[in-house]
Structure 1
Amino acid sequence: MQKEETLADYFYQWMETFKKPALAPVTYVKYQNTYRQIKYYFNDESIHSISRLSYQQALNKFAKTHAKRTTAGFHKQIRAAILDAVEEGLISTDFTRKAIITGRKNKKKQKFLSYTEWQKLITYTSNNCTSSLNLIIYLSAVTGMRYAEVLGLTVADIDFKNKTVTINKTWDYKYHTGFKRTKNKSSIRTIDLDRQTLKLLRKLLVTRKFKKEVQQICVDSKGSLPVSATINRYLENLCQELEIPIISFHGLRHTHASILLFKGVNLISVSKRLGHKDVTTTQSVYFHVIKEMEERETDLILSILDEAIK
């Protein structure tokens, strides 16, 4: 007796036949991701045995750990394949019809942490850097690097003699196409590192026995790098554990810049450290901090004048 075709099998043949020849590789990766998710959420269920009820149950299960937008994209790709299956006469009904799209509600996140909250986070992550997730969070928090920039760091980018790290590439964590160019030319930059971070990185390279200059330093013990959903989920849980406000990964970059500005580092230096195209970009993004600093400076000016006039 011939084994019935599963939903996963049909979807794979469908995307290979109709999508792969017509789409750019980076777009086709999205269909490959959907195929892997179908295998997980539908197992070996036959395409003929899936009902509207069982499809909705699987979709609801998917939605529990994914945002509504992601769930909608997952459903959209499956539905496109199923409509073709109905048209071909392979199945008689469209079980994706009238599906209800839900998704995981994102908890409200702050844009940046205070100095003491940031200190709490970097203390914990620096002390637990054997975990690649902690290392990635720590590096962004103390340098202001973007997620793709941190993942793209290799052994060759760390200069222990000059105490710097160079950002000259990024890693494509979305479509897994490997190394990519930086966001723009100004994103190519060299950042000064503090003694603690240099010490941590030196110990890491020795412990992990990285020999190749092109080796990415943020890989886990299996040589893999996390996707953005994984790191954001981990960061959210870590913030709760440390009893500090929940922020997104990009919030680490905002925190780094805000703290430097509020501690008196000049705008040009912060702008260069972040890799902004110009100071205007930094001014617009961190207007709230600059405004608060101006108010503080006004108080300082008046106190100086009051003291002098006595």
Structure 2
Amino acid sequence: MIQALAYLARQGRQVLLAGLVLGVLAGLALPDLAGTLQKLVAPVVVILLFLAVLRLGPEGVRAGLAGWRAGVLSVLALQLLLPCLAVGVLLVLQVEAIWAFGLVLVLAAAPISGSPNLAIMSGASAPTALRQLVMGTLLLPATALPVFLLMPGLGAPAEVFVIVLRLLAVIAAVGALGLWLRASGLVTASARSLSVIDGCATLLLALIVIALMGAVGPALVQGVQGWGLLLGVLVLGFGLQMVTLLAAYGRMPDEQAAALGQVAGNRNIAFFLGVLPPALASDLMLFIGLYQIPMYLTPAVMGWVYARKGLRLG
């Protein structure tokens, strides 16, 4: 088992690519499988966060939190300024298409819980990704509420606040457990331990993508609309990463700039499903499924970009 997990850790990028392919095929051949797996998404996300903290340990977490001022400014720019600008443009243009709601929710969302795991796979700074995850979630009530107030049809802002409080409690609990296990010496930073942790994280990330992509396969088979939406989310996801990377390049160490770009493009839009009107949430499932594709292509695609740009990564 340990050898198998170590192999998954070494082949992390390929495993995520396989998860994407399986997610598309499962939506076609086993349409009920995604619905079954979706029930596991919430606990798996919590486990991924625990594994990220466990891998980093107290030293890694302290290193990430050292730049908290820059982290707060990044959150305000990415989660408040950008979505408010997008809402303003969409209201002026009177656009009410489903992709418009998806765009706003992506920009308003905090980074995905797997951000540190993706950073590890691509050589970016996992402590920086964890810092942005924690701060983005902590500030989510303050940043998301104005967006919900400005954009009609997104649902009740107060419900966002309640769900964020629950999420913060979970982050605090699993984070404390991971730090305690490292500080007590029950889990060490040996190469073997880190390899097992990375293997577990890789496997769980692949499981999530299969669960969230049930609507993708049928949509891509049915016609050009699904392919057009896929092109849009690819431009959105990688565009956010590239613009943020270029803006941060030279202003901070390369691995931190890479991590900041990754958290800018990989957002937890699925978090909002619990507070959206049911009809809107159902319509957004295809958008959310397609948005997993740039997320899980991040280590492979952005790893190539980092190499071409000559970034010095860990």
Same fold by TM-score greater than 0.5: no
Greater Cα radius of gyration, structure 1 or 2: 1
Higher strand fraction (1 or 2):
1
Higher helix fraction (1 or 2):
2
TM-score normalised by the shorter chain: which range applies? under 0.3
Larger relative contact order (CA 8 Å, sep ≥ 6): 2
